[in-house]
Amino acid sequence: VSGLAERLSRVVGRAHVLEDEQLTAAFERDFTGRFAGRASAVVRPGSVAEVREVLRLCAEAGVAVVPQGGHSGLVGGGTPRDGELVLSLRRLDRIEELDEDAAQVTVGAGVILENLQAHVRERGFDFAVDHAGRGSATLGGMAATNAGGPYAVRYGSMRAQVAGVEAVLADGRVVSRLSGLLKDNAGFDLTGLLVGSEGTLAVIARLRLRLVPLLPARVTALAAVPDLERGLELLRRLRAEAPSLQAVDYFHAHGLRRVCERHGLPLPFRADADVYLVVECAARRDPSDELAAVAELATETAVADDERGRAALWAYRELQNETLTALGVPHKLDVSVPVARVPVFERDVEAAVARLTPGAELFLYGHLGDGNVHVNVVGPPLDDQRIDEAVLRLVAGHGGSISAEHGVGLAKTEWLSLSRTPDEIAIMRDLKRALDPQNLLNPRRVLG
Ligand code: S2G
Ligand code: ZN
């Protein structure tokens, strides 16, 4: 590899080929602690041309490449296994022209979500996908995993926001679809194929993103309800009555108590309900009247329409992940089931945890509006995958997906057949062989 490091330095500059463990450590371990490996090197190209040249040199040397953005992923999709080379897109962090006629913007894959948000909001636009990882997640990584977040119930996931990509294949060929034309059916949808392919088919280097109007009147309600059945009743009312509805997230009393303990937050309500919904509407003018059903159906509710007040309500939900991660390395299962099945699915999960890992601590929360449940089990050793298997089998039984918004990565490859037929997996392997015949890009991820 040292010869390779030399040749790579000639492409990206000595300063952007990292080998020293002090420098590479952060690129080699994911933040949940579940995935780690010793990279052969970390390379940070500064342009699409340099990405092409790096890939060509790695293909020549037969060294596998792990494309990495902000490394905020949760399924080992951006964390190297021993000997793989990390190709960091972080230096491709330029926000290019904002096209106000098309309400689109072109960005480098390394642009961090919160920087894009600040940039476009100054100009009266917003970006439709947001999530708690906004301080480190890059737009390239979010596209590669088709990230979702709380606003998917109104705007869809990343795939719906990506108007085009510029991506480099393992052999150096380039897909360059940055014009942003909304109607362009000249051939197969290569952009759609690459979004959500988790770095296994090509390296996304630039993106053309759709923007939405910045909606100044935002109202957030935290609503305590006795159970998820009541939560679904409220969701149905909001779907019919709230055209500006953009989030219906939820969490349970157990997670709320843990978050308040760890962060010294006051419990939001007196009574002790089991389920808490975070409901948010955004419009040009105050949409509060659309939330009448909340007051009718909730046992207690707190409403905020200012930045600070809304952030305080969201904090109870957004801190769930970080809080449980502090308790121990979690078994993380980001899954989705048909919305109506969420209550019964949760009861099945509780029974499975009681049966298989009785001492474990279970956290259930997520995005009720799209049936996306984040099942987190803290306690059993990571190599004890019985509860992971049981939960994913329950998901399949309820007609759901083993991966809702975090991707498959290394974490779920052995269970892909629970959500895709043998034919579909064979077709995905055909596509992988066609685009990356040397199996250079993120080998073993997604398809195992
Ligand atoms: C969320 C973040 C990561 C996790 O909080 O909505 O997507 O597994 C998650 O909690
Ligand atoms: Zn989520």
386: Cβ–Cβ under 8 A, 6 or more apart, which residues? 356, 357, 380
CA 274 to chain centre: 26
What pLDDT is stored for residue 270 in this prediction? 87
Residue 397 CB: number of other CB atoms within 10 A?
13
Pick the atom of ligand 1 nearest to 366's CA.
6
Q: For position 33, what pLDDT does the model report? A: 82
**Core vs surface per residue 171-183: b (16+ CB within 10 A) or e:** eeeebebbebeee
Neighbours of 416 (CB within 10 A): 18
- Say if ligand 1 is within 6 A of residue 445 CB: no
Task: Give, for ligand 1, the residue of 321, 327, 363, 364 to mutate: max count of ligand atoms closer than 8 Å to Cβ.
Answer: 321
Rounded CA gap, 197 and 100, in Å?
29
Would the CA dihedral through 47, 51, 56, 60 be positive or negative? positive
- At residue 103, what is the residue type? A
Alpha carbons 407 and 446: distance in angstroms, whole number: 8
Residues of the chain with pLDDT under 70: 1-2
**Cα 290 to middle of ligand 1, angstroms:** 27
332 lines ligand 1 (CB under 6 A): yes
pTM over 0.85: yes
Q: Are strands 162-168 and 174-176 parallel, antiparallel or unpaired?
A: antiparallel
pLDDT at 221: 98
**How many CB atoms neighbour CB 380 within 10 A?**
20
Give per-residue burial for 116-151: e unless 16+ CB within 10 Å, then b.
bbebbeeeebbbbbbbbbbeebbbbbbbbbbbbbbb
CA of 146 to the centre of ligand 2 (A): 12
Measured in angstroms, how far is the CA atom of residue 420 from the centroid of ligand 2?
Answer: 22
Distance CA 168, CA 191 (A): 12
Biggest CA-to-CA distance, the chain: 69
Ligand 1 and 321: CB distance under 6 A: yes
Q: Report which bound ligand comes closest to the CA of 332.
A: 1
Mutate to test the pocket of ligand 1, among 30, 320, 336, 391 (most ligand atoms within 8 A of CB): 320
**pLDDT of res. 56:** 96
Ligand 2 centroid, distance to 405 Cα (angstroms):
7
pLDDT in tens, 200-212: 999 999 999 999 9
Q: Which bound ligand lies closest to the C-alpha atom of 372?
A: 2
Q: Is the CB of 74 under 6 A from ligand 1?
A: yes
| 435 closest CA partner among 66, 92, 208, 171 | 171
Q: Could you tell me if the CB of 374 is within 6 A of ligand 1?
A: yes
Query: Which residue owns the Cα nearest ligand 1 atom 2?
Result: 321
CB 249 within 8 A of CB 200: no
Residue 318 alpha carbon, nearest atom of ligand 1: 5
Ligand nearest to the CA of 376: 1
Q: Which of 30, 31, 74, 336 to mutate to test the pocket of ligand 1 (most atoms within 8 A of CB)?
A: 74
Give the distance (Å) from ligand 2 centre to CA of residue 249.
9
- Please tell me the predicted confidence (pLDDT) of residue 308: 98
Give the residue whose CA is nearest to atom 4 of ligand 1: 321
Q: Alpha-carbon distance 182 to 191, whole Å?
A: 12
Contacts of 56 (CB under 8 A, 6+ apart): 171, 172
CB atoms closer than 10 angstroms to residue 187: 6
Return the ligand 1 atom nearest residue 376 CA. 8
Per-residue pLDDT, 138: 98
Query: 211: which 2 tokens?
Result: 């923007």
DSSP secondary structure letters along 277-306 = EEEEEEESS--GGGGHHHHHH-SEEEEE-S
- The encoded tokens of residue 340 equal 């109506």
The residue type found at 53 is: E
State which ligand 1 atom lies nearest to the alpha carbon of 249: 6
> Which residue's CA lies nearest to atom 3 of ligand 1?
321
How many whole angstroms from 27 Cα to the centroid of ligand 1? 21
Distance 92 CA to ligand 1 centre (A): 26
Q: What is the pLDDT of residue 1?
A: 53
Write the CA distances from 427 to 192, 197, 318, 420, integer angstroms. 16, 14, 37, 11
